[in-house]
Structure 1
Amino acid sequence: MNIDQGLSPGDAQMYAGWFKALANPMRVRLLNLLAEARRPMTVGEITERMPIGQPTVSEHLKVLAEVRFVLSERQGTSVRYAVNAACLECFPAAVSAILGRQA
């Protein structure tokens, strides 16, 4: 294999971070909840819908925010979280690139 082909080291590092963030089933569920809600939600709203406590929800949201799957927006004294709309396009394209199926 020619080392000039395939994913760049930077893309491979970024994609690995994305999959690491999704390696926890609860984070997958949180991302799904936010995607289906189609609106920003507070940690309190999210906690009401999940079988885990607020500190754990906050920690999972932090991991998802670090890889930009979710975005946070401060409104007054609360923070609202929403799915990063760019992920709806970037993540499937990343999976295609990893599998060698360029769009």
Structure 2
Amino acid sequence: MNETECEPGSLSHEDAATYATWFKALADPMRVRLLNLLATERRAMTVGEIVGLLPIGQSTVSHHLRILAEVRFVLAERQGTSTRYEVNGACLECFPAAVRAIMGQP
């Protein structure tokens, strides 16, 4: 069935693809913990700061942050030779609406 044949109220192919990438990005518990850390700290943090607070190494933190940044759950800002990461509140606020859409709720 193509998009034009979808029933009213069903998800478009584009929305479904977007939501799938969001869920895929959150499919790793450490990425969920990274988001939680950034959200509770309420400030931009460097990879080094994050490594000091979580039981994983620098390369693993960088890898997870890259995935979260690709779906815009985190924002990266270069400052000199380092990059600071923070939660993208606007993006994360859309997440509950995506879950409601998937469940067919208004």
Range class of TM-score, shorter chain: over 0.9
Q: Which amino acid aligns with 1:15?
A: Y
Matched residues in 2 for 1:36 and 1:100: separation?
31
Matched residues in 2 for 1:39 and 1:92: separation?
22
* Aligned position for 2:68: 64
Aligned length: 101
Pair 1:47 & 2:51 matched: yes
Q: Displacement, 1:9?
A: 0.3
Name which of 7, 11, 33 aligns with 1:4: 7
TM-score by length of 1: 0.93
Local SS of the residue matching 2:55 = coil
Q: Displacement, 1:77?
A: 1.1
Matched residues in 2 for 1:100 and 1:45: separation?
40
TM-score by length of 2: 0.91
User: Max radius of gyration: which structure?
Assistant: 2
Q: Displacement, 1:88?
A: 3.2
For residues 1-103 of structure 1, the aligned pairs below 5 Å read 3-5=6-8, 6-102=10-106
Q: Displacement, 1:4?
A: 3.0
Matched residues in 2 for 1:41 and 1:30: separation?
11
Matched residues in 2 for 1:81 and 1:63: separation?
12
Q: Which has the higher helix share?
A: 2
List, as ranges, runs of 4+ consecutive aligned residues in structure 1 with deviation greater than 3 Å: none
Which segment drifts farther, 69-78 or 2-11? 2-11
Per-residue CA deviations over 1:80-102 (Å, capped at 9, x if unaligned) read: 00001112321111111111111
- Cα RMSD (Å): 1.1
